[in-house]
Amino acid sequence: MTLTRRIAIALAVVGSFSPPTAAPVQALTWTCSTVARKNAPDPNGDLFRNHFNEPDVNGSGDVVFISRTSERRLYLYPAAGTPEIVAAEGGPVVDDATFTNFRWPSINDSGDIGFFGDLALGQGVFLRPAGGGLRAAVLSGATAPPPGGTFQTFAWVSRANAVGDLAFAATVSGGPNGVFLFDRSAATTRSVARVGDATGDGRKFCELTTDTAVGVGDSGSVIFHALTKPDCGNASDPGKPGIWLRTSGTFTALAEAGGTSPISGATYEAFFGPPLSNASGQVLFRSHLTGASSAMGLFLFDPAGPRTTTLAIGREPEPASGGMLKTIAPPGGLTAGNRALFRSSLQRGAARDGIFLSGDPIEAVVLGSGIAPTDVFGPGSTYRRLNEQTAVDRSGTNATFSAKVRDTNRPHAQSALMRCSGS
């Protein structure tokens, strides 16, 4: 089992825990349209195939995603304007290098696009500034910051923060593995944590692996997974997996294995997916519980307090469908208002699945029993399946997701990418 899938987390700061609460919110009216669908032409006139992967959306409603025609491509479909191909399999990067694959695309409210790319030789972390050309933030073979070595592989790339900074985890040849931050304004990369660094609580970071998930806040704070021990050389000590925050040169353990959750009598058992942060420095994480509850949930750590609250939990009533939340997928973002977007399958009720915003009450952006947009689909077309990959912008009023649609104009279900706005 990988470190990412093993990590169980709990609050590491001594203090009181709040009960599972959420601030009351006013439900929005959501209107969805189709961004792209199977067999429709892309900006080059080539036809999309069956998948629209890893979408992200910003405050203007601009959407980035990965899909395939005859080759894999990274696309930008703005809410207004002409769609474009940001990068393509076989397309040039720098120094005659060519792309072979992409992962983890993101777009901030300024329109800066960050992503990871596999190359014909090597890998890289890339940034396409709004209105500018594509550039490599860092490439394999480049010199790592002190204590040195050269970058080999890149394990995870965060979403671009408000100013275009990107955090990433990397393996390093000739030096310790670590977590790093590309500072867009300075055009430099600096170390956040390296294997062997002291944590400040008598332990050391002993494992920052290829499964280390990372996030970055707007202030440049970085959240990351790590395994710590008092002595990294002690093979009999399994170590303590947890989530750490680095802010202004200080490490803080946000959470660790076996600790108390906000659900009475339940502890964190396992953690899945990357931590996400908003402009206020709150951190969203997804964890499976054990003890009094064995459900999957989304939890918010707020450094003001500090305290942890529950945003959504499996087996919780979902009023829009009359059913109950069942599985909770990795969240599609954390808004400035501390709301998380997520897809969940449902028990009972009028729909089999839905995409929701956490709050009091939980709000349905779209239900699987709903009617699909009629911009490219026939009247009365319905959703067959809502996929797990979703995204929401910082304001919480723009969302994107992919789905299978039963199109009344065609005999077979069609894959499509949707963009929704709430008002």
Q: Give the global pTM.
A: 0.90
User: Cα torsion for 104, 250, 206, 239, to the nearest 10°?
Assistant: -100
The single residue listed with the structure tokens 């420095």 is: 281
Q: What are phi and psi of 6, to 5 degrees?
A: -85, -25
Answer yes or no: are the C-beta atoms of 418 and 36 closer than 8 Å. Answer: no
Answer yes or no: are the C-beta atoms of 76 and 417 closer than 8 Å. Answer: no
Provide the pLDDT for residue 272. 82
Rounded distance, CA 228 to CA 232, Å? 8
Rounded distance, CA 73 to CA 267, Å? 42
Distance of alpha carbon 336 from the chain centroid: 15
Amino acid identity of residue 75, one-letter, is Y
Whole-number average pLDDT of the chain: 89
Rounded distance, CA 181 to CA 220, Å? 8
24 pLDDT tier (thresholds 50, 70, 90): low
Strands (E), 158-277: 166-173, 178-183, 188-194, 204-207, 214-216, 222-229, 240-247, 250-256, 266-271, 276-277
3-state SS, 253-296, equals EEEECCCECCCCCEEEEEECCCCEECCCCCEEEEEEEEECCCCE
Tokens standing for 275?
């931590």
Tokens standing for 321?
């469908």
Provide the pLDDT for residue 248. 86
Rounded distance, CA 157 to CA 127, Å? 11
Q: Which residues have CB under 8 Å from 131's CB, separation 6+?
A: 111
Provide the pLDDT for residue 14. 29
Rounded distance, CA 48 to CA 67, Å? 7
Alpha helices in 303-402 (DSSP H): none
Answer yes or no: are the C-beta atoms of 283 and 273 closer than 8 Å. Answer: no
Answer yes or no: are the C-beta atoms of 154 and 168 closer than 8 Å. Answer: yes
Which CA distances in Å does 354 have to 315, 318, 405, 422?
14, 10, 14, 16
Answer yes or no: are the C-beta atoms of 109 and 95 closer than 8 Å. Answer: no
Work out the number of other CB atoms within 10 angstroms of the CB of residue 244: 25
Tokens standing for 355?
């995409």
8 pLDDT tier (thresholds 50, 70, 90): very low
* Mean pLDDT in residue range 15-39: 71
Distance of alpha carbon 26 from the chain centroid: 25
Rounded distance, CA 229 to CA 235, Å? 10
Verify cis geometry, omega within 30 degrees of 0, for the bond prior to 147: yes
CATH of 3-422, one of 3.30.70.890, 2.130.10.150, 3.40.50.1100, 1.10.760.10: 2.130.10.150
26 pLDDT higher than 90: no
354 pLDDT higher than 50: yes
Answer yes or no: are the C-beta atoms of 356 and 318 closer than 8 Å. Answer: yes
Rounded distance, CA 238 to CA 217, Å? 30
Answer yes or no: are the C-beta atoms of 91 and 75 closer than 8 Å. Answer: no
Provide the pLDDT for residue 219. 87
Answer yes or no: are the C-beta atoms of 183 and 163 closer than 8 Å. Answer: no
285 pLDDT tier (thresholds 50, 70, 90): confident
20 pLDDT tier (thresholds 50, 70, 90): very low
Provide the pLDDT for residue 212. 76
357 pLDDT higher than 90: yes
Rounded distance, CA 321 to CA 244, Å? 37
